[in-house]
Amino acid sequence: MRQRGPALLALLLGSGLPSRLFAQCPDGSPPPCRPLTPCASAGIAQNSVAVLYFDNLSPDTADAYLADGLTEEITSRLGELPRLHIKRPGRDAVRRLRDSVPDYLVALGRVLRVRYLVEGSVRRAGPRVRVSARLLGAGDGFRVWSADYDRAASDLLALQEEIAQQIATGIAGRLTPADRANLAARPTRSAEAYEHYLRGNHLIAERTPTSAARAIEEYRAALRFDPAFSRALGRIAYAYALFLQWGWEYPGVPSDSLLARGLTAVAEGLARDSTVSDTWMALGYLRTAQYPRALTGVLEAYERAIALDRFNAEALHQYGSALAILERDSNATVVLHQALSIEPQRPVTLWELSYIEFINRRLAASLHWADSVVAIDPTSFLGYEQRGYASFLLGDTAGARRDGEAAIRLGSREYAEALLAIVDAAVHDTASARARIERLRAAIKNSERLSVFESTALANALVAVGDTSAGLDALERTQPRGRFLWYGIRGLVGLQPSPRLERLIDEIRPQ
């Protein structure tokens, strides 16, 4: 890791951003793709608060979904109050700070630039839940409000409302009737449906095909208890979209059926409640698969999701990614920074910023953002891969090799193996480079239908050993074609323009 001491502290908490970016105020002002207006004051907003993930103190670690769900629901309810500005610091970065930095709460408040912090814990004991919640002044760590609760697990919805009201009152003072109504809104009246929903959210956050499939089962169980639970429908659509986005296999379900199932869930969800941000976000995801080149309706769906929930960092991230695919890089960068203003430790958003800089060959900036990913999440092979590619083009082959090897240890396959093949070729170890290419080929299940990850990695490695024709063959076998392949091609190393490449680009470049 290249950052140490105070610099690492700032980086972990999201203040490792280039200073030029702070000329824009991360206030979430619509429309998202318009540059934000200059900050009127360098001071910290009076009603700003960061909600830390509650600790799970239950004997059974499987009950972590309760602590996560309580945190996310309280955060969501507070976000309904226009007077409040919410930030969601990442759990892992905060935990590392707590273990290593004295007075970490004060440091956290300073670099997040918030006036208040919320923290707490959850312990499940049979049918009951014990919750401790605290509202702290970020400047000194002193308690503004705290309470302990011992309730039946079936009372979780009411408990979340009560905690959110107490926190909002501690921050903003007297609440209006409209404020109370916003805080009292419940996604469902069924405790059983809500518990399945929380389990699904915990699973989908793991971002694996197995956990996403299990999440769909939990959301469907929630709908059996409450058929009108529109949030669960939106999350089902989102889970199907993740399968399409990442090229995951869903046993027994072809990709076109996944798309149809996702769109059906979106249609049902919007028919029941068109004000659920996650449903519109899922629609944006699904439309990228439905219209892989034109991206018809994608931006509009994300814009609607953001308008409905100004603190939906995932929707902001996906909106920024779509803008980058459409080569609107400056707009994309602004939107991605809006996502970071809400969740400063989002590794995937930091990675996206690194990749945008990389495809534009602003390599020092790309390296900066990749360093951020690795500092915040040392288990992210994406961060090591991206840092390795930037290091290689900057002439640091030894650093590139270290990062490629680290990525492979963390579970990477395509891009890290290709990176190491490129490094081998650069130091004239062609035999090792070709051996890596053969390992890449052996890992591909269907050599006639490559994913974007497989084809671009293979093309990178083949071009490095001088086999450009075979690299183009790999790119031409990519399915599905469209915006992701174009985005991947923009990041290739060493591929030179040619009539054949131009024909492929003409076919896949977003319209």
Q: What is the 3-state secondary structure (H, E, C) of 349-382?
A: HHHHHHHHHHHCCCHHHHHHHHHHHHHHCCCCHH
Q: Which of 8-22, 50-64, 306-320, 424-438 has the lowest mean pLDDT?
A: 8-22
Mean pLDDT of the chain: 88
Which residue has better confidence, 84 or 293?
84
Residues composing the chain: 511
Of the chain, the end-to-end C-alpha distance in Å amounts to: 40
- What SS3 class is residue 36? coil
- What SS3 class is residue 34? coil
pLDDT in tens, 261-295: 999 999 999 999 999 999 999 999 999 989 888 88
pLDDT value at 23 more than 60: no
Q: How far apart are CA 319 and CA 389, in angstroms?
A: 25
pLDDT in tens, 333-390: 999 999 999 988 889 999 999 999 999 999 999 999 999 999 988 999 999 999 999 9
pLDDT in tens, 119-174: 999 999 889 999 999 999 998 888 999 999 999 988 989 999 999 999 999 999 88
Domain at 187-293, CATH class: mainly alpha
Percent of the chain with pLDDT over 90: 68
Percent of the chain with pLDDT over 70: 91
Q: How far apart are CA 504 and CA 495, in angstroms?
A: 13
Position 286 scores a pLDDT of 95
Position 22 scores a pLDDT of 27
Contact between 281 and 305 (Cβ < 8 Å): yes
Structure tokens at 173: 């003072």
- Give strand pairing partners of 450: 478
- Confidence class for position 479, pLDDT limits 50, 70, 90: confident
Residue spans in the chain of domains classed CATH 1.25.40.10: 187-293
Q: How far apart are CA 224 and CA 436, in angstroms?
A: 49
Position 34 scores a pLDDT of 30
pLDDT in tens, 317-348: 999 999 999 999 999 999 999 999 998 888 99
Q: Which residues of 87-102 are buried (b: 16+ CB within 10 A; e: fewer)?
A: bbbbbbbbebbeeebe
Contact between 343 and 53 (Cβ < 8 Å): no
Dihedral sign from CA coordinates of 192, 198, 202, 204? positive
Nearest alpha carbon to residue 225 among 261, 260, 206, 199: 199
Nearest alpha carbon to residue 348 among 245, 248, 255: 245
Q: How far apart are CA 369 and CA 416, in angstroms?
A: 18
Position 499 scores a pLDDT of 95
Q: Which of 148-152, 372-376, 430-434, 506-510 has the lowest mean pLDDT?
A: 506-510
Nearest 5°: phi and psi at 42? -80, -5
Nearest alpha carbon to residue 366 among 350, 379, 380: 350
- Confidence class for position 98, pLDDT limits 50, 70, 90: confident
Mean pLDDT within 186-211: 93
Position 430 scores a pLDDT of 96
Contact between 211 and 238 (Cβ < 8 Å): no
Contact between 452 and 485 (Cβ < 8 Å): yes
Site of tokens 């302990």: 148
Q: Taking the model in full, what pTM does it have?
A: 0.85
Residue type, 323: L
Which residue has better confidence, 9 or 311?
311
CATH fold, domain 46-186, is Rossmann fold (3.40.50)
Q: How far apart are CA 493 and CA 297, in angstroms?
A: 32
pLDDT value at 43 more than 80: no
Position 185 scores a pLDDT of 87
Q: How far apart are CA 87 and CA 75, in angstroms?
A: 9
Structure tokens at 276: 């659920």
Q: How far apart are CA 443 and CA 134, in angstroms?
A: 50
Q: Which of 26-30, 86-90, 312-316 has the lowest mean pLDDT?
A: 26-30
Helix (H) or strand (E) holding 87: strand 85-87
pLDDT value at 12 more than 70: no
- Confidence class for position 49, pLDDT limits 50, 70, 90: very high
Q: Which of 22-31, 74-83, 441-450 has the lowest mean pLDDT?
A: 22-31
**What percentage of the chain's residues is helix, strand, coil (to nearest 5)?**
60, 10, 30
Structure tokens at 438: 């053969």
Across 158-299, the runs of DSSP E, i.e. the strands, are none
Residue spans in the chain of domains classed CATH 3.40.50.10070: 46-186
- Confidence class for position 8, pLDDT limits 50, 70, 90: very low
Highest mean pLDDT among 172-186, 234-248, 393-407, 466-480: 393-407
Position 120 scores a pLDDT of 94
Position 448 scores a pLDDT of 83
